[in-house]
Amino acid sequence: MYAILDIETTGGKYDEEGITEIAIYTYDGQNIIDQFSSLINPQKEIQPFVEKLTGINAKMLRNAPKFHEVAKRIVELTKDCIIVAHNAAFDYRILQTEFRRLGFSFNRKSICTVELSKKLLPDEPAYSLGKLVRNLGIPFSNQHRAHGDAKVTLKLFELLLEKDVHKNILKNHINIKDPNKVPSKYLTLIDNLPSEMGVYYLHDSENEIVYIGKSKNIKKRVLSHLTGSQNKAIKIQSELSHVTFSLTGGELVTLLKEQNEIKSNSPKLNRAMQFRIFPIGIRIDSSEAYPILIIEKIKLNFRYISVYKSLKAAKKALSLWADDFGICLNKTSLSKSDSVCFNHGIQKCDGACIGKESAESYQQKIQVLINDLSYPKDDFLIVETGRKEGEFSFVFIENGDFKGYGFYELNHQIKSKRQILHRLITMDNNPDAQKLIRSFLKRKKYKKLVSL
């Protein structure tokens, strides 16, 4: 027996959401045996974007039953059933949370139709419920409402049952273990973690840091490590003794702190980031009259105008620069030709490749490129939100170099460089940090820039 269900929530911080609507269809593999659908009064505010998405508002929920009033019905409908949902981990977790608030445990086997669809329908372009069922020709009305989503999940599951001719994949996708059940020894550890942005440190029994990570929601991310089945999660579970954390407030401070502390501490489970996040760089060789843009693995004692995660990404960026700034392909790592470059033939290169453009003119183009990639000012602060109400975080750039970050509450605390230095947590001005800062500035996610 299966219990096909869907839940709509208030949104909000992880593990603090409330249910606004639930729908359950008890299904025996052939027919619907029982069903239940109801709005639920979550006794908390609905996030505006959720209200817009679902159409469910506070007025609609005012006279709806509270969760404890329907809990018995949910238990009856799901007893001896395998829960089936699209992104089952979410719906199951929300149910567990609500029952835990009532002082009861809720444990069922489960099947995720997202995972099952990826196995049985590998050629589909997308696996979100709406896109998937429409591509399969399944009619879908009342999207983002529990009864509509649950009904269409049932139709999808019927198709998947037929597709699974040998029943092997279906058996493998029944989660016998509770996918969100944290081992009891970790329950206190999880309860003590904040649902806020920061950097967290996973320690082993010898108090050595084995992994450093970042998240907008520390509790949610650590919980994913403790319930995950990927290789990294399994290694973390075998090593973990306790967790410490540092709240950061701002996104940029979080990114910079994580990469800096991974390099400083070299945790054994962070091997990929111990050296460089962006191992490929583009630098300028100015030893000739016409500067050459070189793509290479980053080397010490060289200054790179930009860095990338892969050679492919670096080549793509250099190709775009050639188009946007009139750079000659033959003066880059993209071409080894001694003759006229391709871009000259399509009038995107002014002829540096054949000496038609003067060296001085070409050098000016390179300078324009450098200016475009540079920070907007030589000396400034990037200001973001802080760790608590009334506090702000800042990232300090001096003479075009990243110096570190800090926190302040009142504007007069950062009026001079001396005051800034008193509050500064210094960091290395490495290529990874420079890339993170430039990308952040480009996205304009900061509160303000303060010139010094």
Query: Does residue 295 belong to any structural domain of this protein?
Result: yes
Burial zone of 29 (CB within 10 Å; 0-12 exposed, 13-18 middle, 19+ buried): exposed
The CA distance from 22 to 37, in Å, is 6
The closest of 20, 49, 52 to 37, measured between CA atoms, is: 20
Is 396's pLDDT higher than 90? yes
CA 255 to chain centre: 12
Q: For residue 206, tell me if it sits in a domain.
A: yes
Other beta carbons within 10 Å of 66: 14
pLDDT at residue 166 is higher than 70: no
Q: What is the pLDDT of residue 177?
A: 47
| CATH classification of the domain holding 250 | 3.40.1440.10
Say whether both 16 and 124 belong to one domain: yes
Cα dihedral across residues 276, 277, 280, 285: positive or negative: negative
**Does the pLDDT of residue 176 top 60, yes or no?**
no
Does the pLDDT at position 325 exceed 70? Answer: yes
pLDDT digits (tens, 9 = 90+) for 131-165: 999 888 888 888 899 999 999 999 999 998 878 76
- Are 408 and 421 in contact by the 8 Å Cβ rule? The answer is no
- For the stretch 214-260, pLDDT in tens is 999 999 899 888 877 788 888 998 899 889 999 999 999 999 999 99
Answer yes or no: is pLDDT of 277 > 60. Answer: yes
For residue 177, is it within any domain? no
For residues 154 and 6, membership in a common domain is answered with: yes
- Per-residue pLDDT, 170: 66
Phi, psi of 337, deg, nearest 5: -70, 145
Residue 184 has pLDDT above 70, yes or no: no
298 and 439 part of one domain:
no
How far is residue 58's CA from residue 404's CA, in Å, rounded to a whole number?
A: 45
Query: Does a structural domain hold residue 179?
Result: no
Q: Does residue 249 sit in the same domain as residue 344? A: no
Exposure letters 259-293 (e unless 16+ CB within 10 A, then b): bbbbbebebebbeebeebbbbbbbbbeeeeebbbb
SS3 (DSSP) at 447: coil
Residues 198, 214 share a domain: yes
Q: Which H or E run contains 198?
A: strand 198-203
Integer angstrom CA distances of residue 140 from 7, 8, 34, 136, 154: 17, 17, 21, 11, 11
Residue 382, judged by CB atoms within 10 A of its CB (0-12, 13-18, 19+), counts as buried
Contact 250, 386 (CB under 8 A): yes
Instruction: Choose the final residue of a domain: 373, 397, 423.
Output: 373
Sign of the CA dihedral 154, 158, 160, 166?
positive
Q: What are phi and psi of 310, to 5 degrees?
A: -150, 160
Between CA 192 and CA 197, with CA 195 as vertex, the angle to 5 degrees is: 120
Confidence of residue 185 (pLDDT cuts 50, 70, 90): low
Give the distance, in angstroms, between the CA of residue 445 and the centroid of all CA atoms in the same chain.
Answer: 15
| 62 close to 46: Cβ distance less than 8 angstroms | no
Mean of all residue pLDDT scores within the chain: 90
Indicate if 144 and 65 belong to the same structural domain: yes
Query: 38 and 133, same structural domain?
Result: yes
Dihedral over Cα of 11, 17, 20, 22: its sign = positive
Cβ-in-10-Å burial (0-12, 13-18, 19+) of 247 comes to middle
Q: For residues 164 and 62, state if they share a domain.
A: yes
Domain span at 76: 2-172
Q: How many residues does the chain have?
A: 452
> How many domains does the chain contain in total?
4
Examine the fold and report which residue of 172, 201, 228 is the final residue of a domain before the chain moves on: 172
Helix (H, G, I), strand (E, B) or coil at 441: helix
Q: What is the dihedral of CA 75, 80, 85, 91, to 10 degrees?
A: 40
The residue among 294, 299, 292, 290 whose CA lies nearest residue 282 is 294
What is the distance between the alpha carbons of residues 381 and 25, in angstroms, rounded to a whole number? 56
